[in-house]
């Protein structure tokens, strides 16, 4: 009677070598990580910018947070990021969890919502960092504009930084929250 161990070992070895091809070994088919930051908040000391994530598994308690100057915030696939502004004095008096960000008259809405679904880039881009600045305030709310976008690659290519200018009319904007 023959020993079945050798054919079984060969079969297992062939299966293991073949199974490796089913695993994504690189980030070829994945979207890049997307981050956003607000660069000139220090120029508006009386204003607090609030980030709001909407989407799956978020409750009212954990989706409102204070934006810090220059800090990067990851954009999640199922949780677009919206921005609101409020005076520092009002926020300190009322508290972040006691404000209805959609209907409160003291809240100034932003023109900006960032959703990771708009990014169609794939490998070799592994990271996108978007810097925004406050241009000012108009009758609709706080005006944010993209000031710079940086692409990072996984193929040895140096990072690409694209600068942007505000395309609106700055004269029509006021610089104080009202």
Token pair of 73, please?
């915030």
Q: The whole model's pTM is what?
A: 0.77
Asked if 75 and 83 count as a contact pair (C-beta separation under 8 A), the reply is no
Secondary structure class of 20 (helix, strand, coil): helix
Residue 25 predicted with pLDDT over 50: no
Position 80 scores a pLDDT of 85
Position 38 scores a pLDDT of 95
User: 124-174, pLDDT tens digit by residue?
Assistant: 888 999 999 999 999 999 999 999 999 999 998 999 999 999 999 999 999
- The greatest distance separating any two alpha carbons of the chain, rounded to the nearest whole angstrom, comes to 94
pLDDT confidence band for 24 (50 / 70 / 90) = very low
């Amino acid at each position: 009677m023959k020993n079945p161990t050798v054919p079984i070992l060969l079969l297992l070895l062939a299966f293991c070598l073949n199974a490796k091809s089913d695993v994504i070994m690189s980030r070829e088919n994945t979207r890049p990580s997307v981050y956003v930051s607000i660069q000139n908040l220090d120029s508006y000391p009386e204003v607090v910018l609030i980030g709001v994530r909407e989407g799956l598994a978020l409750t009212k308690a954990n989706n409102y947070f204070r934006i810090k100057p220059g800090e990067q915030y990851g954009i999640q696939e199922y949780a677009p990021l919206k921005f609101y502004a409020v005076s520092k004095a009002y926020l300190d008096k009322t508290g972040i969890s006691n404000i209805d960000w959609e209907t409160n008259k003291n809240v100034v809405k932003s023109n900006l919502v960032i959703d990771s679904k708009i990014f169609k880039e794939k490998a070799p881009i592994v990271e996108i960092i978007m810097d925004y600045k406050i241009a000012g305030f108009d009758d609709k709310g706080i005006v944010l504009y993209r000031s710079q976008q940086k692409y990072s690659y996984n193929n040895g290519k140096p990072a690409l930084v694209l600068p942007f200018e505000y395309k609106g009319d700055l004269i029509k904007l006021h610089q104080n929250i009202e």
